[in-house]
Amino acid sequence: MNLEQQKKQARELLQAVRAGRIDALVRLRSQYPRWANTEDATVRQEVALHDAQFVIAREQGFASWTKLKSYAEASPRARHSHLFVADMQWITDRVHGLLRTRQSAGPAALEQIREWHPRFSGCSDEEIRQAPFTEGDAQLVYAREHAFDTWDDLVRRVNLLASASNAKAAEPFLAAFRALESGDIAALKLLLRDRPQLAQERGTNGNSLLNLAVSIGGKSGPDLGLAFIETLLEAGADVNEPNDRGWTPLHQAAYSNQFAIAAALIKSGADLEAEAHGSGGTPLIVGLFWGHRELADLLGRYSVAPGNLRAAAGLGDKELLEKCFRGEKTLTFEACAARGFYRPHRGFPDWHPSADPQEVLDEALIWACKSGRTNVLPRLVRAGACLDADPYRGTPLIWAAVCNRPETAEWLIDHGATINRKATFGGLTHGQGVTALHMASQYGHLSMVQLLIQRGADPKITDDLYYGDAEAAANYFGQIAVRNYLRSLG
> Is position 400 within any domain?
yes
Q: Is residue 278 part of a domain?
A: no
Instruction: Tell whether 224 and 120 lie within a shared domain.
Output: yes
Are 321 and 431 found together in one domain?
no
- What pLDDT score was predicted for residue 76? 44
Residues 217 and 120 in one domain: yes
Classify the phi-psi angles of 17: left when phi > 0, otherwise alpha if psi is within -120 to 50, otherwise beta. Answer: alpha
Whether pLDDT at 455 is above 60: yes
Of residues 53 and 136, the one with the higher pLDDT is 136
Average pLDDT estimate for 37-43: 84
- End residue of a domain, out of 366, 386, 406: 386
Q: How confident is the model at residue 34 (pLDDT cuts 50, 70, 90)?
A: confident
Confidence class of residue 99 from pLDDT cuts 50, 70 and 90?
Answer: confident
Distance in angstroms (rounded) separating the CA atoms of residues 480 and 465: 22
Residue 377: domain span: 288-386
**Mean pLDDT over residues 322-341, rounded?**
95
- Using DSSP's 3-state secondary structure scheme, residue 421 falls into coil
- Do 56 and 88 fall into the same domain? no
Average pLDDT for 40-65: 80
pLDDT at 248: 95
Same domain, 330 and 403: no
At residue 163, the pLDDT reads 78
Contact yes or no for 282/306 (Cβ under 8 A)? yes
Q: Does 139 share its domain with 226?
A: yes
Q: Lowest-pLDDT range, 164-173, 182-191, 359-368, 451-460?
A: 164-173
220 pLDDT tier (thresholds 50, 70, 90): low
Specify whether 320 is located in the same domain as 458: no
- What mean pLDDT comes out for the span 262-270? 95
End-to-end CA distance of the chain: 63
pLDDT tens, residue by residue, 114-123: 889 999 988 8
| HSE toward the beta carbon, residue 480, CA cutoff 13 A | 0
The answer on 65 and 134 residing in a single domain is no
Q: Is the pLDDT of residue 140 over 60?
A: yes
In a domain, residue 283? The reply is no
Which DSSP state fits 332? P
pLDDT tens profile 7-19: 888 888 988 888 8
Q: How far is CA 267 from the centre of its chain?
A: 23
CB 426 within 8 A of CB 347: yes
Q: Alpha-carbon distance 317 to 335, whole Å? A: 13
* 167: pLDDT strictly greater than 60: no
Same domain, 94 and 230: yes
User: How do 325-326 and 432-434 pair as beta strands?
Assistant: unpaired
Q: Are 288 and 281 in contact (CB under 8 A)?
A: no
Three-class DSSP category at 272: coil
Together in a domain, 330 and 199: no
Same domain? 368 vs 316: yes
Q: pLDDT tens, 228-259?
A: 999 999 999 999 999 988 899 999 999 999 99
Q: In the chain, how many domains are there?
A: 4
| pLDDT computed for residue 219 by the predictor | 66
89 sits in which H/E element: helix 88-101
Determine, yes or no, domain membership for 345: yes
Q: How far apart are CA 30 and CA 321, in angstroms?
A: 70
The secondary structure of residue 39, as a DSSP letter, is -
Is 325 part of a structural domain of the chain? yes
pLDDT, residue 73, reads 63
CATH number of the domain within which 252 lies: 1.25.40.20
- For the stretch 336-365, pLDDT in tens is 999 999 999 888 988 889 989 999 999 999
Same structural domain, 110 and 184: yes
Q: What is the mean pLDDT of residues 448-466?
A: 97
Q: Last residue of a domain, which of 52, 72, 92?
A: 72
What residues have CB less than 8 Å from 434, skipping those under 6 apart?
398, 422, 423, 424, 425, 463, 464, 473
Beta bridge partners of 295: none
More confident residue, 205 or 304: 304
User: According to DSSP H, which parts of 195-256 are helical?
Assistant: 209-220, 222-234, 249-255
**CA 114, 115, 116, 119 torsion: positive or negative?**
positive
Q: What is the mean pLDDT of residues 429-443?
A: 96
Residue 1: the pLDDT is 60
